[in-house]
Amino acid sequence: MKIAKHVSKLSSYVPGEQPSSTKVIKLNTNENPYPPSPQCAKVLKTFAAGKLRLYPDPESTKLRKAIAEICNAREECVFVGNGSDEILALVARAFVEDNEAIGSLNPSYSLYKTIAAIRNVQWRGIATLGESLAPKKKGESPISLFLLTNPNAPTGEWREMSEIAAFAKKFPGVVLVDEAYADFARGNSMEIATARGNNNVIVMRTLSKSYSLAGLRVGYCIGPEKLISALYKIKDSYNIDAIAQAVALAAVTDQKWMKKNAQRVIATRKRFTAELVKRGWDVIPSESNFVFAKPPAGNKAEDVFKALKKDGIFVRYFNGPKTKDRLRITIGTDSQMKKLIHATEKLILR
Ligand SMILES: Cc1ncc(COP(=O)(O)O)c(C=O)c1O
């Protein structure tokens, strides 16, 4: 039995825990605390099981059309993926040669590094977009694909569209702007993706966060037709199942519902941030549905993470050099955030 060398030595991505108990307050994977549009429930209730006898539309045509309309893009410029994670795997295959590398901010979505390892190419992180991307050491490959999360995860930091446009203009390869959390932010970069003359920027979104559909697995991206058609060439034949296509269509068609929930999350984020700051936490201003927060001096983030878990409150801890002092806390309902604050009152030393 032979396993490819790069797969044998790969450490796989560790997603946030999905506890089986529903009693847990789950603030560890940036899911939405509110349900998806009632139109999604309607579709599920009326979906005829007999339809599953047939393969789904390989190009998710209706969904693709609806997304194109919402994003003011041409249909040919829209790709629908099995979650945005599928799109990340596809761009790594489509836009990176074996002797090239994938770049991203550091810290950023930790899956990027794994995506590069699975693709068997190098990954390099930079702290700011102004930093040089050129290979510094012997053996370093040039970066041909840059995965730029905005707002960034796990920090929640926001970058203006002008900064992203300037970066992309100078970058010789493909820039994928990962806007998983853009509906919770003050803006987005979709205009760069849909602009005439754009030849290297793709903007990616997911239905997992603002649309409350993490369990469905639908994401999409928009960019130059040439790049998008490359993704269609290499995707699985039927990458979006029939139920997901129908439910996702109902969700994106109900923009009002999504926006209302995003506003509720933003309002709770503001209140929760203020409560943490009042209690001596250092909170990076967030434009996302989570905050990246450092407990008051004298308290180790990892200890707080473990103590909260014992109390049935799950948050996320990343034990890396740039992340180990903070916790990433998803914004839930006001009541969940109050319970978290209450739990920290007992365990935080001040
Ligand atoms: C920055 C970022 N991009 C993409 C994803 C994945 O989204 P999806 O559920 O569409 O695969 C996540 C999920 O946490 C994320 O944080």
Last residue of a domain, one of 196, 231, 254: 254
292 and 242, same domain (yes or no): no
Give, for ligand 1, the residue of 27, 32, 85, 188 to mutate: max count of ligand atoms closer than 8 Å to Cβ: 85
Helix (H) or strand (E) holding 87: helix 84-94
Question: Which residue stretches of the chain have pLDDT < 50?
Answer: none
Inter-CA distances, 341 with 120, 219, 291, 338, 350, Å: 43, 33, 14, 5, 14
Q: Decide which of 215, 232, 254 is a domain's last residue.
A: 254
pLDDT at 350: 59
Indicate the number of domains in the chain: 2
Q: Are residues 266 and 150 in the same domain?
A: no
At 192 the pLDDT is: 98
CA separation for the pair 342, 24 (Å, rounded): 15
Helix (H, G, I), strand (E, B) or coil at 224: coil
CB 13 within 8 A of CB 111: yes
> Helix-strand-coil percent breakdown of the chain, rounded to 5?
40, 15, 45
Cα–Cα dist 213/208, whole Å: 4
In order of 78, 181, 184, 208, 232, the CA distances from 260 in angstroms are 25, 15, 11, 16, 33
Structural domain harbouring 166: 38-254
How many residues does the structure list for the chain? 350
CA nearest to 263, candidates 183, 187, 346, 164 = 183
Same domain membership, residue 144 and residue 267: no
Distance from residue 240's CA to the centre of ligand 1 (Å): 17
Regarding whether 211 and 133 lie in a shared domain, the answer is: yes
Same domain, 311 and 324: yes
CATH number of residue 304's parent domain = 3.90.1150.10
Q: Say whether both 61 and 97 belong to one domain.
A: yes
Full-model pTM: 0.97
DSSP 175-225: EEEE-TTGGGSS---HHHHHSTT--SEEEEEESSSTTS-TTT--EEEE--H
Count of alpha carbons within 13 Å of 117, Cβ hemisphere only?
Answer: 14
Quick one: pLDDT at residue 30?
97
Taking a C-beta distance cutoff of 8 angstroms, is the pair 198, 161 a contact?
A: no
Q: Which amino acid is at 107?
A: P
Tokens matching residue 293: 């927060």
Pocket test for ligand 1, best of 80, 110, 206 (most atoms within 8 A of CB): 206
DSSP letter (8 states) at residue 136: -
Residues 191 and 105 in one domain: yes
Which ligand 1 atom is nearest residue 88's CA? 4
Q: Based on the domain organization, do 308 and 218 belong to the same domain?
A: no
Run of H or E including 277: helix 255-278
Q: Is the torsion defined by CA of 275, 281, 283, 289 positive or negative?
A: negative
Side chain identity at residue 31, one-letter code: E
User: What distance in angstroms lies between residue 110's CA and the mean position of ligand 1's atoms?
Assistant: 10
Question: Which of 205, 226, 254 is the last residue in one of the domains?
Answer: 254
Same domain, 197 and 272: no
Q: For residue 73, which of 231, 253, 228 has the smallest C-alpha distance?
A: 228
Q: What is the pLDDT of residues 32-62, one digit of tens each?
A: 999 999 999 999 999 999 999 999 999 999 9
pLDDT at 12: 84
Helices 84-94/111-119 angle, 10° precision: 40
Tell me the CA–centroid distance for residue 196 and ligand 1, in Å. 27
Please compute Rg for the chain using Cα positions: 21
54, 178: one domain? yes
Residue 181 token pair: 């959390």
Residue nearest to atom 7 of ligand 1 (CA): 84
Q: Give the atom of ligand 1 at the shortest distance from the alpha carbon of 218.
A: 10
Looking up residue 116, the CATH number of its domain turns out to be 3.40.640.10
Same domain? 285 vs 313: yes
Residue 200 sits in the same domain as residue 301:
no
Residues with CB under 6 A from ligand 1: 30, 83-85, 109, 149, 153, 178, 180, 206, 208, 214, 219
